[in-house]
Amino acid sequence: MKYLIIGGVAGGATVAARLRRLDEKADVILFERGEYVSYANCGLPYYIGNTIKERGKLFVQTAEGFRARFRIDIRTRQEVTRIAPERKAVEVRNLITGETYTENYDKLVLSPGAEPLRPRIPGVDDERIFTLRNVPDTDRIKEYALKRGAKAAVVIGGGFIGLEMAENLRHLGLRTTIVEMADQVMTPIDFPMAAIVHQHLIQQGIHLILKDGVDHFERNEGQPLTVCLNSGKRVEADLVILSIGVRPETKLAQEAGLKLGDLGGIAVDDHLRTSDPDIYALGDAIEVNHLVTGGKAKIPLAGPANKQGRIVADNIALGDKSVYKGSIGTSIAQVFDLTVAATGANAKLLDREGIPYVASYTHSASHAGYYPGATMLALKLLFSSTDGRLLGAQIVGSEGVDKRIEMLAQTIQRGGTVADLTELEHAYAPPYSSAKDPVNMAGFVAENILSGKVRVAQWDEVASLPEETIRLDVRTRAEFKLGSIPGFQNIPLDELREHLQEIPKGRPIVVTCAVGLRGYLACRVLTQNGFDDVRNLSGGYKTWSVATAPVRDQPE
C-alpha cells in the first residue's frame, strides 16, 4: 500500500510515524514544502526571547532522523500543487530544482495547517513586518531584532501567539506595544478575566492599545516604521509582528472538489475522512465537533492535531474503526508571571449559539493560605441553568492553573456537572492545595446558585442597578476605606444582624465583599430574616474593580 502525507509538522509527522509502526511494508511518503519537519511550533516565540537558548531544541525529529528510524520517504522543499482524486494522484513541484512530477496513492492525508492572516493594509509589504509560522520566520525575526539593533516593536493582535511574542520581545529589551482591535486580549477568555491580563501587561511595561486597528504603515527612509492606527494614533516600531489570526489552508482541498464546512475548514466525518473516502484530513485545516455546543468549530491546537494523527493512521492501516469525537478547545498560555487557561465554551460562544448559562466567579489561594507563597487564582465557571452541566471554565493565576484547568476540562469532556466539581478528589498537602481545592470551591459556589441558596449579580450589572436598589458592602471598615464601589454603603458582616432593622424591606438588595464569600454569608442572613430580593455580587469587589479599571495606553 502507498500512503502520501501532505504536511510534515505535528499531525502529519504523527501520521507518518504511526503508519510505519502499524505497517512495516507500506510505502509512506511525506511532502513538506518547508525545510523542516516535526519541529516544536509552539516553542518558536520562546526561542526568539532566549528562553529556549539552543535552536536545535526546537526540532523533535529531523528529516534525516525520520528516514533513518522509520524508513519513511521524507521530501522537504517539495510542494504538492494539485490533487487529482479521480486518478488517485498528486502533482508535486520540487522547490529547489523546479522539477514537477506525479505520485499515485492508495490513501492520502492532508495536514496543511493554517497560515497567518496578512491583510492588504497599505505598507504591509515592508521588510520590517513579520508573521510567525515556521522556523525560517523565527530565524528572520530573531536576526532582525538582534543584528539590526531593534529598540521598539509593535505586535498587531492580542491572541495567544501575540502575547507570547510581546513577552519574548520584551525579554530581548525591546519597547513593546500590543495593538488589538477588540476590547480585550485573549479571546478564549471573557472580558473580566482578560482584564486581569491587561493590568499585568501594563505592570510588565507593555504599551497596550485596545479597541483600535491599523489603518496603514508609513515608511520613512532611515527612520523607524510608523504604525498609523484608525484612531489617529501613531506608534513607531523597528519591527512589527502581525498576529491577527490564522486561516486554514484549504486551497488544495477546494481545488480537488473536497467539501468544505460552513466555517471554511475542510469537512471531515468522525473517522477524519473527507468527502473522498480515500482522503483524510486533520489539524488546523479541518472543522471538528465542539463537544459543548454540538456544532462545528475550528480549533487550531497542537494537542488535538496529534491525537487526530494517531486516529488517522489507525483508520488507514486497520480500517475505519477509530473515531474522533471532537474537542473542547482546552488552551493555556504563559503571560509573563501569569498563566491563563480556558476550556469549553466562553460566554461569547454560548451567547452566539443561544445556549442559556449562569456565570460565577471565585478567587481562591493556589495552596493553603498558611503555607508560604500562596497566590490567588481567579476562576470563572459557566454552567447550565437547568441541570448544572459544566459548559466552560477559565482560570488566571500564577501557580497551579494548569492542573486546575485539566480537572475542569475532564469534567466538561465527560458531560459532568458543577456538583461533580464538589466531589472531585485531589492530591492535598499544604504546599500544593487546600483541603477544599479551588475547583471544589468553585463547585460549591455554583451549586449554591443552582440550588437557589443564593442569587447573583454580575459586575457589569452594577452600573445599571435600579435607583431603589440597596447596595451593601460587608467588608471591614478598613477594607472599605481602601476602595469601594460607588454607591455602596458599608455594614461589616459581623455587625449585619445588629443593623437589620435599619434596612428597608421590599426593595432589591445587592451585596458585595472582597471575593464573594462574605457576601454569600450576608445573603443567607438577609434572606432568612425576611428580605426577599437579595443578590450577591459574583466575584465581589475584586472582580468588579479589575473589570472596570481603565487601561492606560501611554508608553512607559
Residue 319 CA to residue 311 CA, distance in Å, equals: 11
Residue 83 CA to residue 169 CA, distance in Å, equals: 40
Residue 444 CA to residue 428 CA, distance in Å, equals: 18
What confidence tier does 62 reach under pLDDT thresholds 50, 70, 90? confident
Which amino acid is it at 241? I
Q: Give the side-chain half-sphere CA count within 13 A for 263.
A: 19
Would the pLDDT of 555 be above 60? Answer: no
- Cα angle 184, 49, 120; round to 5: 50
CA distances to 363, 382, 512 from 515, rounded to whole Å, are 6, 17, 8
Contact 74, 194 (CB under 8 A): no
Residue 125 CA to residue 460 CA, distance in Å, equals: 42
Phi-psi region of 447 (alpha: psi -120 to 50; beta: other; left: phi over 0): alpha
End-to-end CA distance of the chain: 62
pLDDT tens per residue across span 413-425: 999 999 999 999 9
pLDDT tens per residue across span 337-358: 999 999 999 999 999 999 999 9
Q: Which residues are catalytic?
A: 42
- Element (DSSP H or E) covering residue 29: strand 27-32
Which amino acid is it at 278? D
What confidence tier does 553 reach under pLDDT thresholds 50, 70, 90? low
CA distances to 43, 46, 47, 266, 336 from 54, rounded to whole Å, are 11, 11, 8, 36, 21
CA distances to 49, 79, 139, 172 from 143, rounded to whole Å, are 12, 27, 6, 12
Q: Which three cell numbers mark 325?
A: 469525537
* pTM of full prediction above 0.85: yes
Strands of the 234-237 sheet, one edge to the other:
214-218, 225-229, 234-237
Residue 460 CA to residue 65 CA, distance in Å, equals: 56
Q: Which three cell numbers mark 545?
A: 474593580
* Least trusted range by pLDDT, from 59-68, 107-116, 136-145: 59-68
What confidence tier does 228 reach under pLDDT thresholds 50, 70, 90? very high
Residue 9 is predicted with a pLDDT of 84
Question: What Rg, from alpha-carbon coordinates, does the chain have?
Answer: 27
Kindly state the greatest CA–CA separation across the chain.
90
Q: What are the φ and ψ backbone dihedral angles of 248, each rounded to 5 degrees?
A: -60, 135
Cell 494522484 belongs to which residue? 89
Would the pLDDT of 554 be above 60? Answer: no
Among 111, 9, 22, 117, CA closest to 60: 9
